[in-house]
Amino acid sequence: MMTCTLLICSACTSLRTVIAEQPGGPATASWPRFLNIDFSGAAKLEDGVGSAANWQWQQPTACRWSLSLGDGYGLGVIDQGAYFHFDAFESQERLRKIEMRSGKVLWSVSDPLSYRDMYGYETGPRCAPTIDDDQIFTLGVAGGLTARSIDDGKIQWRVETNEQYHVVQNFFGAGSAPLVLGDAVLVMIGGSPEIDQRIAPGRLERVSPDGSLVVAFDRHTGKELWKCGDDLASYSSPRTVHLNDHDYVLFFAREGLHVIDPQNGKSIGSVHYRSNLVESVNAMVPVVDGNRVLISECYEMGASLFEITISHGDAKFEVVWADEAGNRRAQSLRSHLSTPVLQDGYLYACSGRNAPDSDFRCLEFSTGEVQWTSLARRRSTASRIGDVLIILQEDGELHLARCTPERFDQLGVWPLDIATDERPAITYPCWSAPIIAGNCFLVRGNDTLLCLELPALP
């Protein structure tokens, strides 16, 4: 029986500040990679703005523009006043640059795509692009890794990673956003010995890793710099963690959590974390607070919080708290297609694999104690601006709530699944967390993207 019904909208180095501008002002702020530059899934407010919970969230705001989408499940990225969307259209991978003010398409470029999904899902990308300086990097569902200029979309290099590293097709193709560190582009590949190409797609229990969980490519040429890690790929995306005055990278791969030293391309430790079910996946991006790292899945394991220390070049994992494997009803958090949002010591997240066993909840990061649950029987994703959560249900209904562990403090409900004279509707599946930049935010459904203005300041 098929159990992993997930497509990742993964829904994609120096910290930038995302400014909430007054409506009508220029959208010059950035959201340059999946979950934003600091992996928080949040946009920061300018000093002195005050609480975003005081804004006028009760009624939907104006729709600045909308965009018709091809195949794919993720949202894009924002930089230099433009939005970049990656999808599939007419058997091509397509990357478009769209002006944030007007929604005008500034350029559109394509590459051939040959992919067939084993379970009948769309053939478009599963993860977001990544922008760094004047380059944009995309990883397609069939493993095509491409570097382009953000100015004109001109291709700089392309690597067919599935072919080069003999990747046996994962359940839904490739779906981990690239991570740029200095001159290196780090990608979760999860290749295998060439002989494993004889194994049927999806039979991952028979596939052997070959040391290419992580591959670093030269950002200017596409040449391999190093590879490491004995594991297969997941649908999580990599993120950095700062330990002992050194930056490491976390990869929540198929079999568990890996700590990689990007300076020398070495794996310095891992902890096993996966359901015993073959047809299951790890998907959320690890949530970090200092040297504490939370990971979660929805099939059997639930969530665990680890304290990671580095000693003599090796990573050690100490369990702070852990859900009881298999006891789903008692588990604190069962993350599926979305990454929790951390704010002031509390996590806000969708828990559950699918309807009707899903809800939105708050739990204490340090203990795993659930504070409240709400929005029962629907999966959702969430982003944050200041102290407000923007929660998108998979049916297209948008909920706005204040970040507080006291209760689900709802500020407004926007029925984006219903069309109006000013905008089209978004329809199931709405699996990407909203992204925020400047004075607007973007939400998407199956085939439509909306650019909505943020509420006016009081």
Report percent pLDDT > 70 for the chain: 93
CB 275 within 8 A of CB 295: no
Half-sphere exposure at residue 423, Cβ-oriented, CA atoms within 13 angstroms: 24
Angle at 455 between CA 453 and CA 456, to 5 degrees: 115
| DSSP one-letter code for 446 | S
Within a domain: 35: no
Check: CB of residue 205 under 8 Å from CB of residue 177: no
What's the CATH code of the domain at 227? Answer: 2.130.10.10
The domain of 56 spans 42-453
Q: Name the amino acid, one letter, at 210.
A: D
Cβ–Cβ < 8 Å for 272, 257: no
Q: Count CB neighbours of 120 within 10 A.
A: 6
Model confidence at 6, pLDDT cuts 50, 70, 90, reads low
What's the CA gap between 458 and 451, in Å, rounded?
A: 22
What's the pLDDT score for residue 355? 86
Task: For 310-336, give the secondary structure using H, E and C.
Answer: EECCEEEEEEEEECCCCCHHHCCCCCC
Tally of domains in the chain: 1
In a domain, 319, yes or no: yes
Rounded mean pLDDT, 82-92? 97
| pLDDT score recorded for residue 124 | 95
Q: Is the pLDDT of residue 429 over 80?
A: yes
pLDDT tens-digit series, residues 214-255: 999 999 999 999 999 999 999 999 999 999 999 999 999 999
Is 3 part of any domain?
no
Question: What is residue 66's predicted lDDT score, i.e. its pLDDT?
Answer: 98
CA 428 – CA 417 distance, rounded (Å): 8
Answer yes or no: is 301 within a domain.
Answer: yes
119 CB neighbour count, 10 Å cutoff? 12
Q: Are 434 and 389 in contact (CB under 8 A)?
A: no
Does 388 reside within a domain?
yes
pTM (2 d.p.): 0.94
Is residue 13 one of the residues assigned to a domain? Answer: no
- What are the structure tokens assigned to 177, written together? 């956003």
Whether 50 is covered by a domain: the verdict is yes
The SS3 of residue 15 is coil
Query: Each residue of 152-184: pLDDT tens digit?
Result: 999 999 999 999 999 999 999 999 999 999 999
**Residue 31 falls within a domain, yes or no?**
no
- Assign 458 a pLDDT band (cuts: 50, 70, 90): low
3-class DSSP assignment, residue 73 = coil
Q: Report yes or no: 31 and 451 within 8 Å, Cβ to Cβ.
A: no
The whole-number pLDDT of residue 396 equals: 98
